[in-house]
Amino acid sequence: MAVGKVTFSKAEREKLAEVLWLLNWISVVTGVILFSLGLFLKVEIQKWAEVMSEHGTFYVPHMLITTGLAACCINYLGGQICLDCADTNKFLRWKLVMMPYIVCTFFFTSCILAGALMCYSIRSQLEESLFLGLRNAMRYYKDTDTPGRCYLKRTVDMLQIQFQCCGNTGYRDWFQIQWISSRYLDMTNSAVVDRLRSNVEGKYLMDGVPFSCCSTFSPRPCIQQHLNNRTAHLHYDQQSQQQNLWRRGCRQALLDHYTGIMESIGLTVLLIWLFELLVLTGVRYLQTAMENVLLLGDPDLESYGWILENSLAEMARSNFNIIKNLGKCYQVDDDPNINVPTAAAEREVPSQQVQVPVTS
């Protein structure tokens, strides 16, 4: 039994074709929207690509861009097909193209759904990418004279100022790395030399942070150094430094920023997928209705349209029988007497006697 079986008159078929023509052109616009969303997401990721590792975050915008371009092409072709399907004679030129077109549109619609789900499932990968990228960026913060890293200091400072964050997970991350270049250290100062010697790896570690960690809401001049020493500053309370430095880590700040963008894009893509699914369903009804009216031979008669010609259970049973019969075709008979002639067969074939002349 057909799934979603509907009866269409001639006027209803023509109306359906016209509506689908309009919907396909709207789908071209949604394809442009998909392309624009992918391009926007790519630009947003590129802004802070220096503080992100290369762990699979760029494939989402690329997929949206590709899907958007495919949507424009497929729906433009679908608009032309639906416009001609209003006439039975014009439908004949598209009859052989309709089924491959529907199959391609189905896979394309599945790609849109996959893109929407990726926007919601990428958070863990994005978090790992930000963690690794920020860790490396902070490690190379001091290398302003090294080719390929000379702009990392500016990038990290702009990140911390713009997103009001400090460090990877917090401002104490700066205590664990040397973020001041050795060429700016006074090696004649015994305190500097002692600090370098006290570290196993020979790094100049200090309880201080870059200037970009300073909060603009601080009522006093920002305290950047000797943050663990309460006696180094007048009226300094380490526990109440909520307004002195940005407390939130930059990983969480960027993660919240990109998560908000991804969720908005994911919702938009999901709505586009539902719209494309509606268009695909309408095209399937139009195709089956037009093919059935051709079988009837009279374009003025009513015809049936459906989504699936058989139910899922019937399709599964039919495919199982086909596979089962194919297995029987290649089955080998193990009977040892299969090629041994029977006695009846021997009687059916008379033996030929050859007379040999006897010479005296």
Average pLDDT over residues 247-271: 94
153-174 pLDDT per residue, tens: 999 999 999 999 999 999 999 9
pLDDT band at 318 (very low <50, low <70, confident <90, very high): low
pLDDT band at 111 (very low <50, low <70, confident <90, very high): very high
Average pLDDT over residues 253-270: 94
pLDDT at 331: 56
29-40 pLDDT per residue, tens: 999 999 999 999
pLDDT band at 94 (very low <50, low <70, confident <90, very high): confident
pLDDT at 354 over 50: no
Average pLDDT over residues 81-99: 83
**Lowest-pLDDT range, 12-16, 31-35, 226-230, 287-291?**
226-230
Rounded CA separation 71/86 (Å): 23
Average pLDDT over residues 297-316: 77
pLDDT at 271 over 90: yes
In contact, 68 and 36? CB cutoff 8 Å: yes
In contact, 105 and 76? CB cutoff 8 Å: no
pLDDT at 342 over 60: no
* Tokens coding 256: 């919240």
Residue 270: count other Cβ atoms within 10 Å of its Cβ.
17
- Of 350 and 155, the one with more pLDDT: 155
pLDDT at 358: 52
pLDDT at 141: 93
pLDDT at 92: 83
Pairing of strands 6-8, 303-305: antiparallel
- Of 115 and 5, the one with more pLDDT: 115
In contact, 17 and 39? CB cutoff 8 Å: no
> How many residues are present in the chain?
360
pLDDT at 48 over 80: yes
pLDDT at 329 over 80: no
pLDDT at 212 over 50: yes
pLDDT at 158: 96
Average pLDDT over residues 122-141: 91
CA 189 to chain centre: 55
* Tokens coding 352: 């030929």
Q: What mean pLDDT, rounded, does the chain reach?
A: 83
pLDDT band at 360 (very low <50, low <70, confident <90, very high): very low
- Of 57 and 278, the one with more pLDDT: 278
**Lowest-pLDDT range, 8-22, 113-127, 157-171, 332-346?**
332-346
pLDDT at 248: 92
Average pLDDT over residues 205-227: 85
Average pLDDT over residues 339-347: 52
pLDDT at 184: 85
pLDDT at 336 over 50: yes
Give the per-residue SS3 of the chain: CCECCEEECHHHHHHHHHHHHHHHHHHHHHHHHHHHHHHHHHHHHHHCHHHCCCCCCCHHHHHHHHHHHHHHHHHHHHHHHHHHCCCHHHHHHHHHHHHHHHHHHHHHHHHHHHHHHHHHHCHHHHHHHHHHHHHHHHHCCCCCCCCCCCCHHHHHHHHHHHCCCCCCCCHHHHHHCCCCCHHHCCCCCHHHHHHHHHCCCCCCCCCCCCHHHECCCCCCCCCCCCCCCHHHCCCCCHHHHHHCECCCCHHHHHHHHHHHHHHHHHHHHHHHHHHHHHHHHHHHHHHHHHHHHHHHCCCCCCEEECCECCCHHHHHHHHHHHHHHHHHHCCCCCCCCCCCCCHHHHHHCCCCCCCCCCCC
Average pLDDT over residues 9-28: 92
pLDDT at 54 over 80: no
